[in-house]
Structure formats: C-alpha cells, structure tokens
Amino acid sequence: MKKRQWFILAGIAVLVILLSGSMFIVKEGEYKVVLKFGEAVRIEQSPGLKFKIPFIENVFTLPKHQMTYESNPTTMLTKDKKPIIVDNYTVWRITDPTSFNRTVKSVGVGIQRIDEAVYNSVRRKLAEVNFDAIISENTERGNINDEITKDVAEALKRDNYGIEIIDVRIKRTDLPESNKQSVYNRMISDRQSIAARYLSEGDEESRKVTSKADRAATEIIAQAEADAKKIVAEGEKEAARIYNESYGKDPEFYSLYRTLESYVTTLQNEPVIMLPIDSPYAKILLGK
C-alpha cells in the first residue's frame, strides 16, 4: 500500500515538473524565443500563458521596448582636419525577433553592431563638415544628426538584423585638451574681428545719418530765415504804406502822434532834459 502511495506521489511530482517545464509567460514589452535543440522554432509575441515541450524546448527573452545605447567618447577629424571628441546616443528596438535571433542572437551583440554602424556614419559625416559649423550652428548639427540616423538605419536594415533605429544624436562635441586653448583663442579673435567690423559699420552709418540730419537742419533754418526776412520786409512795407496813408489824410495829427511817441522814448527812466521854454517841443509837453 505504501509503495502504491509512493508511486502516486512520484507520479504527481513528475506531472508537476512536466507541467511547470511546459509553461511559460509572455509579458508586455518582451518577445519569447522558443529554441529546440538550439534552433529557434517560433517567436511568442502576444502576452499570456504559453506552452512548450519540456526538456526539449527552451525559452529566452528579448526586449520589445525601445532601448538607449550611449557610446564612449571618441576622437574624430572634421573636414578642416580639426580633432574633436564626440559622444552620442542611439535609440533603437528589436522589430523582427526572428531575424535578430538568426543574425546577432543577443542584445549585447546587437549593441556592438549598432556601435560599429554609428561610429562609421559619424566619422564619415563629420569628415564632410568644418569644425566651426559643428560647434556653432545648431541647424548644422541638427542636419548631421538626421543624416546619421538615416544612414545607420539603412545600414542595419540592409544587413537584416531585425533592428529599427529610432534616433541617433550627437550629445557633445569637445576639443582635446592639447589644442583646446589655441582653438578658443582663434574663436575669440574671430568674434572680436566681427565685433570690430560691426562697430565700424555702425560708426559709418551714424556719420551718414548725422551728416544728412545736419544738412537738412541747415536747409530748414536757411529757408526759415529767408521766409522770416520776407515776412518782416512785407510787414515794414505795409506799415510804411499805412503811415504814409495816415500822414496824407491829417499831417498835423500825424506830426503830433510822432511827437508824443518821442516823448515816451525820451522820458523813460525820468531823465533831466534842458529845453528852451518857448520851443515847440516844450510847448506841446507843457500843453500850450
């Protein structure tokens, strides 16, 4: 009886082992590659509980989500033979696990293939661009990044690695310590030259504007003075005409008016005036 129980327990144990060895779970964000005698026989992509032949089929996991690989800083030459230190990052993912398993088999080897393709592409692209354009122009670097991404994606697709390149970006471009200061000095000199040119052009433009304004002011003042003289002359002419016309109508009154005006001028500040008592000027003043 005991032997029978032991056989039953052993059978249950074997059954549990077989069942546990024949089941596996596929999670979100991963592929399960099923191997039979070392060869991939199928790829499980949809999440859930899956089955395999125990002891004959094995399973290993490949990531389905996007991954980021950062390269080590590397010295490269630009078109004008300037050495720069470049490091970049690559965003990628596995889109065809069958091809990936057949060609590279593991994520580590896949990263090696990506690193080689990125290095070759970055080296070629930087060799086509001058140093100043890389470090100074954001638009230029943006164009380089886009071209490198396209170049690397096409290279890996051509080799049928089952890898999709999402983006390749140059993070940093720096100078080697040996020639950093000389390049900085040249950049400072270039910027000072540009600033001096801008200042010279500004001074020249300022002189032109000032000269034009002075010339216009002189012309306006001259015209105003000419107009003023003309108006004064016309006023004096009109005043003389009015005086003459008034004098012609009543000479005695006009003579008296002019005499009274002279009194106003003469007697300002209460001066002492010596006049004969019988002079016409004194008589009018005295009211005789």
Query: Running along the chain, 288 residues long, what does each successive block of 10 average in pLDDT?
Result: 60 57 77 79 78 76 90 85 86 90 88 93 87 62 83 91 92 69 73 88 89 89 90 86 74 70 68 66 62
Alpha helix positions (H), 127-278: 131-136, 138-158, 177-249, 251-266
Same domain, 94 and 144: yes
Q: What pLDDT sits at residue 130?
A: 80
How many structural domains compose the chain? 3
Residue with tokens 């499980």: 44
d(C-alpha 43, C-alpha 59), whole Å: 9
Same domain, 166 and 80: yes
79: exposed, middle or buried (Cβ count in 10 Å: 0-12, 13-18, 19+)? middle
Residues 6 or more apart whose CB falls under 8 angstroms from that of 65 comprise 29, 93
CB 94 within 8 A of CB 104: no
Same domain, 127 and 114: yes
Range of the domain at 282: 251-288
Same domain, 34 and 92: no
Q: What pLDDT sits at residue 31?
A: 85
Same domain, 89 and 155: yes
Q: Which amino acid is at 157?
A: K
Same domain, 83 and 110: yes
Q: What pLDDT sits at residue 92?
A: 95
Same domain, 167 and 139: yes
State residue 106 phi and psi, 5-degree precision: -135, 160
- Rg of the Cα atoms in the chain: 52
Q: What pLDDT sits at residue 173?
A: 75
Q: What pLDDT sits at residue 237?
A: 85
The separation between CA 154 and the C-alpha centre of its own chain, rounded to angstroms, equals 30
Which of 148, 174, 200 terminates a domain? The answer is 174
Query: CB atoms < 10 A from the CB of 77, how many?
Result: 13
Same domain, 35 and 134: no
Q: Which DSSP symbol is given to 64?
A: -
The separation between CA 87 and the C-alpha centre of its own chain, rounded to angstroms, equals 22
Q: Is residue 3 part of a domain?
A: no
Q: What pLDDT sits at residue 189?
A: 81
Same domain, 139 and 48: no
Q: Is residue 144 part of a domain?
A: yes
Same domain, 80 and 136: yes
- In this structure, what CATH number is given to the domain that contains residue 108? 3.30.479.30
